[in-house]
Structure 1
Amino acid sequence: MLQIKDLQVHYGGIHALRGISLEVPDGKIISLIGANGAGKSTTLKAIMGLVPKTSGTILYDKKDITESKTKDIVKDGLILTPEGRRVFPDLTVDENITLGAYVRKDKDGIAKDRKWVFELFPRLEERKWQAAGTLSGGEQQMLAVARSLMGRPKLLMMDEPSLGLAPLIVKNIFGIIKEINQAGVNVLLIEQNAKAALEISDYGYVMETGVVTLSGTGKDLLVNDRVKKAYLGE
């Protein structure tokens, strides 16, 4: 589905990504964990064409998208739910969701997906005429995910979906991520909440200062001593 080979990114004099390689196989949830500043968000931005790459290759569905424009990457079904939710606060919930389908022309498919996201997030349907900026943090995160799903992603990349949310809402968000995956959407998940991410992931990668230092199944990483000490508070 997605293959990253020896990806390097520089920000001015900062070597942000130092030759990372990772894969997202079809049908899987893959997590990328690490501390702040490890390069996780930069990885997603590089995949989406939002930051320039120094070198390396990004293959998506066997197609080289290393130099593709962001709008074309989105049209191909690779969609990012950014960190910080980034909803349009002055627009209604329904208008935010409609904007998620802006690259699509299939009215019947859009209507079907709108029904699906309201089934996933019934609270959003209850508030669909409410301004997005008046929602709680958890509701805004649900809206950001719902908006991404309206683009009908083959691969959904999520940047810190649990950041700043109450534990009960976090549990709900991760349950929905599993449900999205079971519906046929591949997921690449970036999280500081390593335990919650690895518990639902088929495979995970650990990043430190722009380098992938460890990888393994979610179950294996949960019991790895290095991971437990650095990221699980044990």
Structure 2
Amino acid sequence: MLKIENLNVFYGGIHALRGISLEVPDRKIISLIGANGAGKSTTLKAIMGLVPKSEGKVAFDEKDITSAQTKDIVGSGIVLCPEGRRVFPDLTIAENLTLGAYLRKDKEQIKKDKQWVYELFPRLLEREWQLAGTLSGGEQQMLAVGRAIMSKPKLLMLDEPSLGLAPLVVKDIFSIIRQINDAGVNILLIEQNAKAALEIADHAYVMETGSITLSGTGKELLASDLVKKAYLGE
């Protein structure tokens, strides 16, 4: 599905990604954990073509997309749900969702996908004509994920979906991530809530200062003394 090999990114004189390699196999949830500044968000931006790569290769469905433009990467089926939600505040919930399907032409399937989003997030249906800027943080996160789904992704990349949310909302978001994956959408998840990220992950990677320092199944990393000490507060 997605394969990254020896990816390097520089911000000025800062070596932000140092030869990272990782894979997102078909129908899996892959989590990427690490402290602030470890390079997690940069990894997603590099995949999307939002930051220049100095070295390395990104392949999706066995096609080289290393130098592809962002709109073409989205068209190929990779969608990023960014940190901070980034909804359009002056547009309604319905309008935000419609914009998520901007590149699509299959009108009947778009209607079905919008219905699926409302099934996943009933609260959005209740407030369909409410302006996104007036929603709570949790509701905006639901909308951001729903808008990303409207692009019909093969691979959905989520950057800190639980950031700043109440524990009950976080639980709902992670349950829905699992449902989205069960429906056939691959997931690459960046998350500072390491415990939640590892519990949901089929496979996970630990990043430190631009490098991948550890990888394994979610269960293996949950049991790792190094991970427990550094990220789980044990």
Provide the TM-score with structure 1 as the length reference.
1.00
Offset of 1:80 from its aligned partner? 0.2
Q: Match for residue 195 of structure 1?
A: 195
Q: Distance in 1 between matches of 2:112 and 2:125?
A: 14
SS state of the match for residue 22, structure 1?
A: strand
- Percent identity (aligned): 76
Q: Give structure 2 stretches of 5+ with no counterpart.
A: none
Per-residue deviation, residues 8-50 of structure 1 (Å, max 9, x unmatched)? 0000000000000000000100000000000000000000000
Instruction: Report the equivalent of 1:69.
Output: 69
Alpha-carbon distance in structure 2 between the residues aligned to 1:107 and 1:216: 41
Is it true that 1:150 corresponds to 2:154 in the alignment?
Answer: no
Cα distance in 2 for residues equivalent to 1:79 and 1:146: 12
Alignment of 1:49 onto 2:49:
yes
Corresponding position of 1:27: 27
CA distances 1:199-218 after superposition (whole Å, capped 9, x unpaired): 01000000000000000000
- How far apart, CA to CA, are the structure 2 residues paired with 1:105 and 1:118? 20
- What is the match of residue 229 of structure 2? 229
Counterpart of 2:212 in structure 1 is 212
Per the alignment, residue 164 of structure 1 pairs with: 164
- Give the Cα separation in 2 of the matches to 1:229 and 1:128: 44
User: Structure 1 CA distance, aligned partners of 2:59 and 2:225?
Assistant: 32
**Superposition misfits of 4+ residues, deviation over 4 angstroms:** none
One-letter amino acid of the structure 2 residue matched with residue 165 of structure 1? L
**What's the Cα RMSD here?**
0.3
The number of aligned residues is: 234
TM-score normalized by the length of structure 2: 1.00
SS in 1 for 2:17: strand
Structure 2 equivalent of residue 118 of structure 1? 118
Task: Quote the Cα distance in structure 2 between the aligned partners of 1:144 and 1:177.
Answer: 13
**Separation in 2 of the partners of 1:54 and 1:186?**
27
Question: Any residues of structure 2 matched to 1:125-144 within 5 Å, and which?
Answer: 125-144=125-144
Distance 1:217 1:194 in 2: 13
Q: SS of 2:68's equivalent?
A: coil
Post-superposition Cα deviations, 1:156-214, rounded to whole Å, max 9, x if no partner, equal: 00000000000000000000000000000000000000000100100000000000000
Deviation at 1:60, TM superposition (A): 0.3
